[in-house]
Structures are given as structure tokens and as C-alpha cells.
Amino acid sequence: MTNLKKQKVTEEEAPQGISKLPDLLLLQILSLLPTKDAFRTCLVSPTWRCLPTLIDSFNFTCSTDRETEDFSFIQNALAHSLSSKIIKFKLDLTDLSLSDCSFRPEYETLISRCFSFAVEKEVENVLLWSQYSNGCTLSESLCTCSSLITLDVKHCGFNNAVISWNSLKSIKLGHLMLTDDEMVKLLSGCPALETMELYSYTGEDLKCRLVDASSVVNAKLMYSFACIKGIPSTYVEDCCRDYRQVVYTLVQDNLQKLCYATDLTIGTWFTQFRWDYCTRSCAHCSSKGCPFQN
């Protein structure tokens, strides 16, 4: 019984040590957590109840199983925020299961609300991850955000919006269906861009050329291309050979545009596109040659 009494700690005593930390440091710690966990943590002590309203970094995740709960929580968190500036805003929608591979109006409304709020608070770092390539689009307010420094976008489009990110220094694009013209518009709207990362699983969604990337000093190209496989036929042979020629031209062109980069990272696709790899992975090409043979 004596040991149990010693181990028993009241709610007021439990956070006593950490509560002595300055509120600014506590807010920095809470900002490292998913926002929902940060709010729950602040329920431990009555003296922490006001801290969630001052958090300057948001990390939201939505899932199909808790869709209504997640949406409600996000709206509530934004409505009660008293922070004058947002350092980081992350909205992860990759766990939303969409059978028709398209966003419902409420998703677009949520995205618009989140990033209108973030832009008003002069957000510096944004992450928006979706699951489908035709899922969501960046809001117009975010596309002209003057305070933005880093942007990480997955499966989200620009919807012909005007791009004006004069302060943007780092951009990470994943699985975006971009044309050459769209890439020109994107890069021309980022005059201060220093770091660029492009990644794709199939290679189909990032076949655009970089055009002008003279300001980029740190680049990462993580493509993973795949040739047509299946039933042998003349059509498949021609398509596979043509596809590899497109890839070869794209690789050469993009590497030339990154000639000013001092730090370049490339994916395994670069070393895999050797002649012996082609003959093993796709025998259809071997009879008619391959652009990577030499």
C-alpha cells in the first residue's frame, strides 16, 4: 500500500516538471506532434488548455474511417487559432479512400479553407498530399502566397492558376501530370528556387522538361520508368522502343538543364537503363535495338 501511494500521482503533480518550461518551448514541442495529439496532450494539465490556440505548426491527417471526426477537428482547430503566423501547414489526405478517384466538393472546400487560413497567417512551409493524380488542386490563394519558402505537393494539380512564389526556395513534386508549358509557368513563377525534387513511380506523370532551371543548385530526380510488358507483338515492340527513346531524350534534356546544380541526386532508373537490363526486362526491344545500347 505504501508503494502504491508513492506511485500515485495527481493530475496537478504529473506535469509539474515539464510545466516549468517556458510556454514558447512547450509550443515548439507540441508543434512537432500531429496536431490532434498535441491537442490531446494539452488536456493533461489545466494550465496547458490555452496552448493549442497558439500552435504555429499544423499537421492534419484525414482518413476514411474517421472522415467526419477529422474534418470537424480541423475546422475547430483553425477557428480557435490565435497564432499570428504559421510556420508549417501539412494536410495529408492519402488515407482517404475514393472509389471514383475524384474528390468530392467537401474535400475541395476543406483544402480551400485550410490554405486560405494558412496564407492569411503568412505560412512558410506547406505539404499537401493526396492519393490520386486527378484528386485535388492547389487553391488560388496558395499559388500566389508571397511568404511561402518550401512546398511539398503529391498528386495535386495547379488548375491553370497563376504561379507567383517569389520567396519559394524548395519545391517537391510527386506524381503530377505536368506538361512542358505548365513546367515553364511553374519555374518562371519561382525566381528564387534553389532546391527541386521530382519523383514518380511510373514515369508517365512527370515527362515534362525543366526548360529553365538555372537557379536550381540542389536537384533530386527520382523517376522510376517501366516499359510495356505483356503479350509479344510488333505493336508492343514498337511502343516499348518508342517509350524508351522518349525516356532517353527526357533524361538527357533534364540533366542538361541542371548543369548549374552543385548537388544532384538521381534514382536507380539511371543505372538500370543499360543494354543488358533492357534485354532482361523486356525482350521485345532486343531485336530492334534500344536507345540505351550505346
The per-residue pLDDT string of the chain (294 residues; one tens digit each, 9 = 90 and over) reads: 455 444 444 444 445 567 678 888 888 999 999 999 999 988 888 888 889 899 999 999 988 888 889 999 999 999 999 999 999 999 998 887 655 445 577 788 888 899 999 999 999 999 999 876 555 778 888 999 999 999 999 888 777 788 999 999 999 988 777 777 888 888 889 999 999 998 875 555 556 677 778 889 999 887 766 554 444 444 445 566 666 677 677 777 878 888 888 998 887 666 555 443 444 444 444 444 444 444
3-state SS, one letter per residue, for 92-152: EEEECCCCCCCCCHHHHHHHHHHHHHHHHCCCCEEEEECCCCCCEECCHHHHCCCCCCEEE
> Which DSSP state fits 14?
T
- In a 10 Å sphere around its CB, with 0-12 CB exposed, 13-18 middle and 19+ buried, how is residue 101 labelled? exposed
> What is the torsional sign of CA 175, 180, 184, 185?
negative
Q: What are the residues whose beta carbons fall under 8 Å from the beta carbon of 12, sequence distance 6 or more?
A: 45, 46
Place of cell 515527362: 207
C-alpha cell at 265: 541526386
pLDDT of residue 3: 53
Q: What are the residues whose beta carbons fall under 8 Å from the beta carbon of 102, sequence distance 6 or more?
A: 132, 134, 135
Provide the whole-model pTM: 0.77
- In a 10 Å sphere around its CB, with 0-12 CB exposed, 13-18 middle and 19+ buried, how is residue 179 labelled? exposed
Q: What are the residues whose beta carbons fall under 8 Å from the beta carbon of 192, sequence distance 6 or more?
A: 166, 167, 168, 169, 215
Residue type, 215: S
C-alpha cell at 287: 531485336
Secondary structure (3-state) at 222: strand
Secondary structure (3-state) at 253: helix
Contact yes or no for 261/218 (Cβ under 8 A): yes
